Chain A
Amino acid sequence: SVQAHKEEDNPEKTMEVNGLAPVPNSYDYDLIVIGGGSGGLAAAKEAAKYEKKVMVLDFVTPTPQGSSWGLGGTCVNVGCIPKKLMHQAALLGQALQDSRKFGWQFTEEVKHNWMTMTESVQNYIGSLNWGYRVTLRDTKVTYENAYGEFVGPHTIKATNKKGVEKLYTAERFIIATGERPRYLGIPGDKEHCISSDDLFSLPYCPGKTLVVGASYVALECAGFLAGLGLDVTVMVRSILLRGFDQDMANKIGEYMTEHGVTFIREFVPIKVEQVEEGTPGKLKVTARSTTGNQMIEGEYNTVLLAIGRDPCTRKIGLDKVGVNINEKTGKIPVNDEEQTNVPYIYAIGDILQDKLELTPVAIQAGRLLVRRLYAGATAKCDYVNVPTTVFTPLEYGACGYSEETAVEKFGEENIEVYHSHFWPLEWTVPSRDNNKCYAKIICNIQDNERVIGFHVLGPNAGEVTQGFAAAIKCGLTKEQLDSTVGIHPVCAEV
Chain B
Amino acid sequence: MGWEEVQVRGYPEFVRTAQRYHGRPIFALFCGDKDAEGRSWCPDCVTAEPVVRKELHNLPDESVFIYCLVGDRAYWKDPNNEFRKNLKLTGVPTLLKYGTPQKLVEEECFKAELVRMLFTED
Contact = CB atoms under 8 A, between A and B. Distances in A.
Interface string B78-122: 000000000000000000000011111000100101100100010
Contact of A137 (B100, B102, B103, B114): B114
A138 interface: yes
Interface of A: 123-124, 126-127, 129-130, 133-134, 137-138
Contacts, number: 24
A124 B113 CA distance: 24
Contact of A127 (B101, B108, B111): B101
A393 to B, nearest CB: 30
Q: Which 10 A-B pairs have the closest CB atoms?
A: A127-B101, A126-B101, A130-B102, A137-B117, A130-B101, A123-B101, A137-B113, A137-B114, A134-B114, A134-B108
Contacts of B102: 126, 130
A410 to B, nearest CB: 50
A393 B117 CA distance: 41
Contacts of A124: 101
Interface residues of B, number: 11
A133 B117 contact: yes
Contacts of B111: 138
A130 B102 CA distance: 6
Nearest to A131: B101
A138 B114 contact: yes
Interface of B: 100-104, 108, 111, 113-114, 117, 121
Contact of A126 (B100, B113, B114): B100
Chain A facing B: main interface SS: helix
Nearest to A125: B101
A123 B121 CA distance: 18
A134 B104 contact: yes
A333 B114 CA distance: 39
Contacts of A138: 108, 111, 113-114
Given A126-B100, A130-B100, 15 more contacts: A123-B101, A124-B101, A126-B102, A127-B101, A129-B101, A130-B101, A130-B102, A133-B121, A134-B104, A134-B108, A134-B117, A137-B113, A137-B114, A137-B117, A138-B113
A133 B104 CA distance: 11
Contacts of A129: 101
Contacts of A123: 101
B88 to A, nearest CB: 10
A123 B101 CA distance: 6
Contacts of B113: 137-138
A134 B114 CA distance: 7
10 contacts: A124-B101, A130-B101, A130-B103, A133-B117, A134-B104, A134-B108, A134-B114, A134-B117, A137-B117, A138-B113
A118 to B, nearest CB: 15
Nearest to B121: A133
Contacts of A130: 100-103
| Most interface-central of B103, B108, B113, B117 (chain A CB within 10 A) | B117
Contacts of B101: 123-124, 126-127, 129-130
Contacts of B103: 130
A71 to B, nearest CB: 11
A138 B113 CA distance: 8
Nearest to A127: B101
B97 to A, nearest CB: 9
A448 to B, nearest CB: 51
Contacts of B104: 134
Contacts of B108: 134, 138
Contacts of A133: 117, 121
